[in-house]
Structure 1
Amino acid sequence: MAESGVKDPIRVVITGAAGQIAYSLIHQISSGDVFGKDQPIILHLLDITPMMGVLSGLVMEINDCSFPLIKDVVTTDSEQTAFTDVDVALFVGAMPRKEGMERKDLLTANVKIFKSQGLALEKFAKKTVKIIVVGNPANTNCFILAHYAQSIPRENFSCLTRLDHNRAKAQIASRLKVSPDAVKNVTIWGNHSSTQFPDVRSAKVTVNGVETAVFEAVKDDAWLKGDFVSTVQKRGAAVIAARKLSSAMSAAKAICDHMRDWWNGTKDNEWVSMGVISDGSYGVEKGLVFSYPVQIKNGSYSVVQGLAMDDWAQDLIEKTQKELVEEKNDAVKATSSE
C-alpha cells in the first residue's frame, strides 16, 4: 500500500495486445471494472514487431480516454519486458482460428509461442502471478505454458471457459425470458471446444422471485440434453460463420468476469466455470487443464465437489477428456521435436 491509503499499482500484461479481443478488454480493465475503482494499473502490452505501430495508436487512445487508474502503458515486442514483475498475465495472443481451421493446425502453430512465453513467465514474472490463457486451443496452450513455468504454483494457471459459461446462462435466460443474472450454477466441463459439456443439472433459476431447478423451469429435457448442449458447444463457430471474425467482444467480457471473480471471490453458494489444472477430481487425469465448477475465496479457487454424475454426463465428460488427452499428447510431441 502506498502513502495516504492509495494502493500500489499492479502490473497487467496482455499478449496479442493489438488484436480485437484486447481492444475490447483494455477499456474494461482500465476503467476499473475488473480490479476495482481504487486499483491503479500499469499495462504491459505485448505483440509481434510488425504490430508496434498499431500499439502506438492504441496508446494514443488509452491516453485520450483519460483513465485515472492507468499509471503507465508499456508497449513491447520483448517477452522479458512484457513479463517482468507482472501480477496478472492475460494470454490473449495466439495463432488465430479461422473458418474451417482444424484444432490440430492451431495446436502446432501455438506450441512454439506458448513454450517461449512460458519460459519468459518462469524467468521474469512474480511467482504470485494470476494467469488466464485465452488463445485457442486454450486448455492445451495453458498446459504448455505451465509445463515451461514450473516454479509458478499450479493453481495460478487457468484458461478461459467463462465465455462458454456465459453462453450457457444466456441460452437458459432466453428460453425462460429472464435476465441472465437470474441463472446460476451452470457448469462447463472439459475442453473449450465442441466437445465441452455445458451442464445445467445443478443449475438454478429465479423466476418471479422463486428459485427452482433449471430442468424443472424449462420442462423440456430433450432440449436441455440436445439443442441446448450443441448450441453452446458450437457457438464460437457460429459467430465466426456469421461475423467472419471470432467472438471478440463477448470473449473480452468473459475474461473480465473470470478475473474479477478470481480477484474478488464468488458469491456464497454460487460457482463459475474455469479451466484449471486437474487434481483428479471427477476422475479426470491429473495435470490436464480441464474446465470445472469452482468457488473462489481470498483469491483462491476450489473445485466444487460431490455433484451428481449420471451415465449421460459421465459419457460427455469422458469424451471431452479424451480430446484433451490427445491434444496434450500432440503438444508434448511437438515440444519435444523442436
Structure 2
Amino acid sequence: MSQKAPIRVLVTGAAGQIAYSLVNFIAKGDVFGTDQPLDLILLDIKLMMEVLGGVVMELKDCALPLLREIVATDDYEVAFKDIDVAFLVGAMPRKQGMERKDLLTANVTIFKGQGQALDKYAKKNVKVIVVGNPANTNALICSKYAPSIPKENFTAMTRLDQNRAMAQIAERLDCNVNDVNKVIIWGNHSATQYPDVRFATAVKNGATMIQKRGAAVIAARKLSSAMSAAKASCDHIKDWWFGTGDRWVSMAVPSDGSYGIKEGLVYSFPVICTGGDERKYKIVQGLKIDDFSRSKMDLSAKELEEEREMALSVCKD
C-alpha cells in the first residue's frame, strides 16, 4: 500500500468523449505513477449529471486500487477546491454556421469562470492543461482570471500534434515511435501550426500531414479523435510531473519572448521538463530559424494574436 498522500485531480467536461478515455488513464496510474493514490473530481454541466453518473459507475467497476474517492459535480467550488492538477477538457465546440468570434465568445465565458474558480479555490501551485479548443486562447483567458496562480502553470495541449507527427515518421522509417525525438510543434493547436522536423533525430527528408489529421479521423470515424487526445493530455502532464530528461516535447505555454513570439501569448514551443518537486519546464533555446520556418511560425502567432484580441474584446472586466 502506497504511503503517499492522495493528490486531487480535476477533469472538466467529464461526461464527454475525451474524458471517457482520460479518466481511466489517470485512475490506473498511467499519469502520476502506480504508487500515487488520487481523488478524481469530475465536473460537467447539470444537464450531463446522469451521464456522468454512468462514468462513475464504470470507474468503480474497474476496481482501481489507486482511486480513493470519486466526486461528480456541477458545482465549481466543489470541483476546484484544493486541486493539484486540472485537465480542462470541457469547452464549447464549434457548431455549423458558427463564426470564429462566436466560438471564442462562448469559451471566454467558460474559461473566465474556471479561471476565477482556480484563483479562489485551487492550490496556488496547481498545474493546468487546457484541452478544450481553441486551447491556446482558452488557456490565456483562464490564466487572466487566476492572477494569484503563476502564469507558467497554465498550458495548452499540442502534444497530440507531436504524437501524430512522431507516429507518421516512425511508420515511414519503419522504426519504433520511441526512436523519434526532437519533433517540434510551433504555434497554435490549429491548421496554422508548424510541425517542424528539421531537428528530429530519426527522420530523413519527408513531409508530414499533421495539421489536417483531426479532420481525417473525423471523416473516417464520424467522431473526433477522443482516445488519442486523452492519451496526449496524459503524456503532457506525465512529462511535466516526472520530467523529460533530454527529450524535447511540445507544449503551448505563455511566451517569454523566445523566438520573437510576443510575451504572454500562449504558443507551442519545444520544452524540456525537469519534474521533481517544483515541476518546471523551460523552452529549448538557440535553435536556428530559417526563412521558411519563420514565415510559418509568424503565421500561427498572427492567428493567436487575432484570437487573443477577439477573446479580450468580449471580456467585461
Which bracket does the TM-score occupy, shorter chain normalised?
over 0.9
How far did residue 114 of structure 1 move?
0.5
In the aligned structure 2, how far is the partner of 1:5 from the partner of 1:69?
9
Alignment of 1:136-215 (within 5 A): 136-205=133-202, 214=203
Q: Which residue of 2 aligns with 1:233?
A: 211
Alignment of 1:269-280 (within 5 A): 270-280=247-257
In the aligned structure 1, how far is the partner of 2:223 from the partner of 2:237?
24
Counterpart check, 1:253 vs 2:231: yes
Q: Which residue of 1 aligns with 2:75?
A: 78
Structure 2: which amino acid aligns with 1:256? C
Q: Which residue of 2 aligns with 1:62?
A: 59
Q: Which residue of 1 aligns with 2:296?
A: 316
In the aligned structure 1, how far is the partner of 2:96 from the partner of 2:173?
32
**Which of these residues, 221, 245, 264, is aligned with residue 287 of structure 1?**
264
Are the equivalent residues in 1 in contact too, given 2:2–2:37 (CA < 8 A)? no
Alignment of 1:111-130 (within 5 A): 111-130=108-127
**Which of these residues, 299, 303, 306, is aligned with residue 286 of structure 2?**
306
Structure 1: which amino acid aligns with 2:235? D
Structure 2: which amino acid aligns with 1:259? I
* TM-score of the superposed pair, with normalisation by structure 1: 0.90
In the aligned structure 1, how far is the partner of 2:135 from the partner of 2:195?
17
Local SS of the residue matching 2:128: strand
How far did residue 318 of structure 1 move?
0.4
Local SS of the residue matching 1:191: coil
In the aligned structure 2, how far is the partner of 1:243 from the partner of 1:29?
25
How far did residue 97 of structure 1 move?
3.7
Q: What is the identity percentage for the equivalent residue pairs of Structure 1 and Structure 2?
A: 61
Shift in alpha-carbon separation, 1:56–1:255, aligned structure 2, 3 A? same
How far did residue 130 of structure 1 move?
0.2
In the aligned structure 1, how far is the partner of 2:97 from the partner of 2:195?
23
How far did residue 101 of structure 1 move?
5.7
Structure 1: which amino acid aligns with 2:217? V
Local SS of the residue matching 1:45: strand
Are the equivalent residues in 1 in contact too, given 2:118–2:146 (CA < 8 A)? yes
Structure 1: which amino acid aligns with 2:264? G
Larger Rg: 1
Gaps of 5+ in 1: 206-213
How far did residue 106 of structure 1 move?
2.3
In the aligned structure 2, how far is the partner of 1:5 from the partner of 1:23?
26
**Which of these residues, 112, 130, 136, is aligned with residue 133 of structure 1?**
130
Structure 2: which amino acid aligns with 1:246? S
Q: 1:26-78 CA distances to partner (integer Å, 9 max, x unpaired)? A: 11111101000010000110000011111111111111100000000011000
How far did residue 237 of structure 1 move?
1.8
Are the equivalent residues in 2 in contact too, given 1:32–1:38 (CA < 8 A)? yes
Total equivalences in the alignment? 314
**Which of these residues, 307, 312, 316, is aligned with residue 332 of structure 1?**
312
Structure number with the higher helix fraction is 1
Are the equivalent residues in 1 in contact too, given 2:125–2:153 (CA < 8 A)? yes
Gaps of 5+ in 2: none
What is the RMSD computed on CA atoms of the aligned residues?
1.4
Structure 1: which amino acid aligns with 2:92? M
How far did residue 100 of structure 1 move?
7.4
In the aligned structure 1, how far is the partner of 2:2 from the partner of 2:12?
31
How far did residue 243 of structure 1 move?
2.1
**Which of these residues, 18, 28, 33, is aligned with residue 30 of structure 2?**
33
Structure 1: which amino acid aligns with 2:219? A
Q: Which residue of 1 aligns with 2:222?
A: 244
